[in-house]
């Protein structure tokens, strides 16, 4: 008899409030887990300094984005603080079928849509140490008006109320520590009993 683990990939959804550090944590994870596939989201927001089309996001016009919605090319999409965000369907489905884990870094509203289509996914909420810490991070970007800052903090309070919809909560107090917690979660998920069996050699 030979011990084996299921080879199908895990769909890992990391979401949380704007400014909590989702991109930073996910980039760190990709650096220490080179086999982890990263699904690039589409968005209509303006690129920030250093961001590249096709690397950080697929930056699109609202007309282009709406066309993707009409063609059912997104597994989730959401309008957040005046911009659209979404996850292209084809890449995710093909990569999971090939046995690779896929990491989605998306907003909370989008994560709830993914959960309807992929209830077997792994949902991780990235939380700030405190709302004051979150406010400082957003202000530190230097890209927000007072109105958009107020809107983002209000949205964060509503998103924190949805913690019960997630499988795990990871506090992003330090990027390295938060990333290690997520790696530990992934290892545990791959070792769950329903992914294990004994077979004849």
- Nearest to residue 23, comparing CAs of 66, 76, 85? 85
Tokens 């690397």 map to which residue? 55
Per-residue DSSP letter, 129? S
**Both structure tokens of 47:** 């690129």
Question: Which is more confident, 201 or 38?
Answer: 38
Average pLDDT over every residue of 138-156: 74
Residue 8 scores a pLDDT above 90:
no
Burial class (CB in 10 A: 0-12, 13-18, 19+), 35: exposed
The rounded mean pLDDT for the chain is 87
Residue 167: pLDDT above 70? yes
Higher-pLDDT residue of 124, 90 = 124
For residues 172-186, give the mean pLDDT. 96
Task: Say what the pLDDT of residue 197 is.
Answer: 65
Residue 40 binned pLDDT confidence (cut-offs 50, 70, 90): confident
Q: How far apart are CA 87 and CA 71, in angstroms?
A: 13
Condensed to tens digits (0 to 9), the pLDDT of residues 73-98 reads 999 898 887 899 988 888 888 889 88
Q: Which pLDDT score, from 0 to 100, does residue 145 have?
A: 75
In CATH, the architecture of 2-39+100-199 is 3-Layer(aba) Sandwich (3.40)
Evaluate if residue 5 carries a pLDDT over 70: no
Per-domain boundaries in the chain: 2-39+100-199
Using pLDDT thresholds of 50, 70 and 90, give the confidence band for residue 36: very high
- Residue 151: the pLDDT is 76
């Amino acid at each position: 008899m030979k011990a084996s683990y299921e080879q199908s990939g895990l769909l890992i959804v990391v979401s949380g409030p704007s400014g909590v550090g989702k991109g930073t944590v996910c980039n760190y994870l990709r650096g220490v887990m080179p086999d982890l596939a990263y699904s690039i989201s589409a968005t209509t927001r303006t690129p920030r300094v250093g961001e590249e089309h096709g690397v950080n996001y697929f930056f699109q016009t609202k007309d282009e984005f709406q066309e993707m919605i009409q063609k059912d090319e997104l597994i989730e999409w959401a309008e957040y603080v005046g911009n659209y965000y979404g996850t292209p369907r084809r890449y995710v489905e093909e990569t999971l079928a090939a046995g690779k884990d896929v990491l989605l870094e998306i907003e909370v509203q989008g994560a709830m849509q993914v959960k309807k289509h992929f209830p077997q996914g792994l949902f991780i909420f990235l939380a700030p140490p405190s709302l004051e810490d979150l406010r400082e991070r957003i202000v530190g970007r230097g890209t927000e008006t007072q109105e958009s800052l107020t809107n983002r903090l209000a949205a964060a309070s509503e998103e924190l109320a949805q913690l019960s919809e997630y499988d795990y909560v990871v506090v992003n107090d330090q990027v390295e520590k938060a990333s290690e917690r997520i790696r530990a979660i992934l290892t545990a998920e791959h070792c769950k009993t329903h992914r294990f069996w004994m077979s004849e050699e």
